[in-house]
Structure 1
Amino acid sequence: MKWLTYKKTIVGLTILTILLGLSFLYPLYGPKDFNSVRFLYDEKGNFLGVPPFPPSSHYLLGSDRNGADILFMMIYGGKFTILMAVGVTFLRLVIGGLVGVVFSLWLNRLLPIVKDFLLVFRMIPAIIIALPLMSKAWVIGSEETIYSILFYQMLVLALVGIPSVLLTTTEIIDHLKKESFMQSSYLMGANHFHVLKTQLKPFLTSYGIVIALQHLISALSLIMFFGAFGFYIGGISAEEVRGLEIPYSFTKEWAGLIGQNYLEFNRAPYIILAPLLAYFFIIIIINMIKKELETSMDLNHLGFHLKKKKKPCRNSERNNMRIKDVEYSLQEKAR
């Protein structure tokens, strides 16, 4: 079957599926307090120390300052990190894509105004726009409020990326409109719905997958930035990081684990390196899938590129032609 040729994609999706499965099933096998201890003793009852504890047979990845097992927290919080990024990407793609199609086909006259208005979202970093809105969700999380907090944060993170999807969609459709098969459809009397269903749908589907993977990486990066600022996905915990008075992540999502422990880098680097490397690993997997799909789907056979290429300098080309002309004239005189 054709989908079996996407080996990297299959491997990447399998890893993500296993990780999500372990995370969702954590309540069945993992301790609710993440194996948190205040004092560690050996088998003979001898006092070993206080948290944070380095990696050992008792704590494979070590523990944080509160004595919680980092590995258990990462397994539990993995679902919040991944599903939040997936949900944000889905909202961006659906809302931005649909609005972009509507403006490109039915409201084309208003498109220049919309592009000028949305240009600010491409010039200003997304975190600056979203930071004031995300501050509204800086509340203590609980089992009753966690879903409302997650939904609000998902809307905020999606909002800052919708303009980018909208503009990319309009650029793709505008490029496709110039192709002969599109112009022939309109000349034969096809309406916008027919063109969208028969001509545009295959291209928008292919480009949409790659755009979705791009925004999935973008969403993960944005979530990590917010974690560094102390805005954790799912809210903060009533418990603080012991001894530092730093808010504790309620959901134990990876960006929160990075943000709440970044001050420990010099004293106990394993506390922050474990979730940080896991975060990078997920981004590498998604980028690997994206590159394989881009190559296999041959998305640019129409000449459209999602990333702008630098145009060759005309002045340099003219200078090269002049140099060749001078060299040719000198050769003629020498003869």
Structure 2
Amino acid sequence: MKNPRKGRGLTKNPALLIGASIIVLVMLIGVFAPYLSPHDPSQMYPRNRREWPSSQFLLGTDRLGRDILSRMIWGARVSLLIGSLAVGASMVIGLSIGMVSGYYGGLLDEVLMRFMDMIFAFPALLLAMALIAVTGPSVRNIILVTALIGVPRFARILRASVLTLKAQEFVEAARALSKSDFGIMTQHILPNCIAPLTVETSLSIATAIITESALSFLGLGVRPPTPSWGQMIADGRTEVFNAPWIVIFPGLAIMITVLGYNLLGDGLRDALDPRL
């Protein structure tokens, strides 16, 4: 039977509603980019370089005469694709490690958690830069590197939940009924960990988008001519005083998107926390 109080908590939480609205809007922009983009994002208009926002170019043009609005629309698709796939991969790997580590404990737990500590020991951006420098900049490598960085967070969150849940009576009852370890983990423990994992997923996507933007800004991200918000800021950093709109609008896109995911994560945390 559904809990009506939980439904009301979800719909009356302003942070959750605002965050969800922002994310849905950005997703729709990314999905329908070919139809919303007024110009080809790679098309250069030499006579309109560094043009102020106008009726022809609503957000102006960059130093090569490319329409900023069109590039921002296509950049939304790249950022969301990388963020979603990277977090999806890190969640699958992290959940597997956290579940096995917390459920079985002992030496296996020690080995897996020390490996997670090794990844945590490196600053995320520096580790990403080092790995991208070795593997080469591409969308696939950015997804893999960002996923690797996010694995320890999911592993530790699930492990903490498993350590609490595996001693509960319903898990003991499942063991008494001769259920397999895999069945207990997937059917009894994992469903009770959905709330913290949902919140972490939302916040991790925001982190992944920031990581991708930072790598693109440093020249280690998405390669031209594929538009990326971080790459757009990097291209306009020398024009910040002559044509500030080149940097301002992509920066606002990153800020608003990350804010949306953070608000969504905070709203879900408040709505799913039974103590609130």
What TM-score, normalized to structure 1? 0.70
Matched residue, 1:142: none
Q: How many pairs does the alignment contain?
A: 267
Q: For residues 180-226 of structure 1, what are the alpha-carbon distances to aligned partners after superposition, in whole Å with 9 as ceiling and x for unaligned?
A: 55456556765533432443122222221111112112111211221
Structure 1 residues 299, 88: CA separation in 2 closer, same or farther (over 3 Å shift)? farther
**Identical columns (%):** 22
- Counterpart residue number, 1:274: 249
What code does the residue aligned with 2:154 have? V
Task: Report the Cα offset of residue 23 of structure 1.
Answer: 3.4
Q: Larger helix proportion, structure 1 or 2? A: 2
Q: For 1:3 and 1:72, how far apart are their aligned partners in 2?
A: 38
Q: Which runs of 5+ in 2 are unaligned?
A: none
Q: What residue in structure 1 maps to residue 30 of structure 2? A: 23
**Is the 8 Å Cα contact of residues 207 and 299 (structure 1) preserved in structure 2?**
no
- Amino acid in structure 2 at the alignment position of 1:6: L
The structure with higher relative contact order (CA 8 Å, sep 6+) is: 2
Alignment of 1:6 with 2:15, yes or no, is no
Q: Which residue does the alignment assign to 1:150?
A: 139
| Secondary structure in 2 matching 1:39 | helix
Supply the distance in 2 between the matched residues of 1:194 and 1:108 (Cα, whole angstroms).
Answer: 21
Please tell me whether residue 128 in structure 1 is matched to residue 145 in structure 2: no
Following the alignment from structure 1 to structure 2, what is the Cα–Cα distance between the partners of residues 18 and 214? 18
Q: Is the 8 A contact 2:18 2:264 kept in 1?
A: no
Supply the distance in 2 between the matched residues of 1:64 and 1:103 (Cα, whole angstroms): 50
* TM superposition shift of 1:33: 5.1
| Letter paired with 1:23 | G
Compare the two structures and name the one with the higher strand fraction: 1
CA deviation after TM superposition for structure 1 residue 82, in Å: 1.0
1:77 to 75, 78, 92: 75
Q: 2:259 and 2:85 mapped to 1: Cα distance?
A: 19
Matched, 1:213 2:202: yes
- CA contact 1:121–1:164 (8 Å) conserved in 2: no
Contact 2:41 2:70 in 1 (8 A): no
Instruction: Return 270-279 or 194-203, whichever deviates more.
Output: 194-203
SS of structure 1 residue aligned to 2:46: coil
- Conserved in 1, the CA contact under 8 Å of 2:41 and 2:74? no
Change (3 A) 1:201 1:169: closer
Q: Distance in 1 between matches of 2:214 and 2:129?
A: 10
After TM superposition, the structure 1 = structure 2 runs for residues 60-75 of structure 1, keeping only pairs within 5 Å, are 60-75=58-73
Contact 1:210 1:290 in 2 (8 A): yes
Asked if residue 39 in structure 1 is aligned to residue 47 in structure 2, the reply is yes
Summarize the Cα distance change of 1:175–1:33 in structure 2 as closer, same or farther, 3 Å threshold.
closer
**Secondary structure class of the residue paired with 1:232:** coil
Q: Is the 8 A contact 1:137 1:153 kept in 2?
A: no
1:118 — aligned with what?
116
Greater C-alpha Rg? 1
Deviation at 1:34, TM superposition (A): 5.3
Local SS of the residue matching 1:161: helix
Aligned-pair distance for 1:300?
6.3
- Kindly provide the amino acid, as one letter, of the partner of residue 30 in structure 2: S
Whether 2:266 is the aligned partner of 1:291: answer yes
SS at match of 1:100: helix
Would the aligned equivalents of 1:230 and 1:260 in 2 still touch at CA under 8 Å? no
CA distance in structure 2 between the partners assigned to 1:95 and 1:124 by the alignment: 19
